[in-house]
Amino acid sequence: MELIDMLEKGHASTARILAGVSPDQLGQPTPCSEWDVRGLINHIVGGAFFFAAVAETGKPPEGAGGDTDFTAGDMAENYAQAVKADLAAWARPGALEQMCELPFGTMPGQFALSLHFVDNLTHGWDLARATGQDETLDPELCGAAMAMVEASISDDIRSTQPGAPFGPKVDVADGAAPHERLVAFLGRHP
């Protein structure tokens, strides 16, 4: 499966979960210690707009990390607009070959898109966990994401500090589902 197709399917998975969030859940905690549900949704929707701009220009948008509250109004529609822009930008000829500047370094578009795909898919799981929804994610997407993270995340970049992008690996049973193995590798407790 092509990476852009994986992103599209990952967005669809996260959209399904986001559609199940009710406004009274926005203040609930999430597996991401720095965000409640509102903050996590803002990261997910804002991330899609952020990466759309990166795919278009090779650089983060002006004012990246702004204070837009994407949970105001129709959250699902806000996400749908972000996804539309994101997928169109990454489908643009040359987007995967260009160099992309991200806050933590410059990398090929293909690698930036891989990071975005894994981040979006994993945060969909975080949102499902925080709001009591089905946490099962597509096994094929989880397998692809697992291959990506195993190749790029080493133990020396893991931390137990709040806000760290990756915590220490969590042990799971041999028969754990693909989504459980993925989130455990990224430091979450399935």
What's the pLDDT band for 164 if we cut at 50, 70, 90? Answer: low
pLDDT tens by residue, 55-87: 999 999 886 666 789 999 899 999 999 999 999
pLDDT at 138 over 70: yes
Q: What is the pLDDT of residue 33?
A: 86
CATH numbers and ranges of domains, the chain: 3-136 (1.20.120.450)
**Residue 126 to residue 46: CA distance in whole angstroms:** 16
What local confidence, expressed as pLDDT, does residue 133 receive? Answer: 98
**Alpha helix (H) residue ranges in 33-138:** 37-57, 75-91, 109-130
Percent of the chain at pLDDT exceeding 70: 96
What pLDDT score was predicted for residue 66? Answer: 67
Strands 99-102 and 105-108: antiparallel
- pTM, two decimals, is 0.94
- By residue count, the chain amounts to 190
Cβ contact 103:67 at 8 Å: no
pLDDT band at 166 (very low <50, low <70, confident <90, very high): confident
Which H/E stretch holds residue 91?
Answer: helix 75-91
Q: Find where tokens 């293909």 sit.
A: 110
Q: How confident is the model at residue 16 (pLDDT cuts 50, 70, 90)?
A: very high
For the residues 112-116, what does the mean pLDDT come to? 96
Q: Give pLDDT, residue 46.
A: 95
Average pLDDT over residues 146-159: 86
SS3 label, residue 99: strand
Residue 172 has pLDDT above 70, yes or no: yes
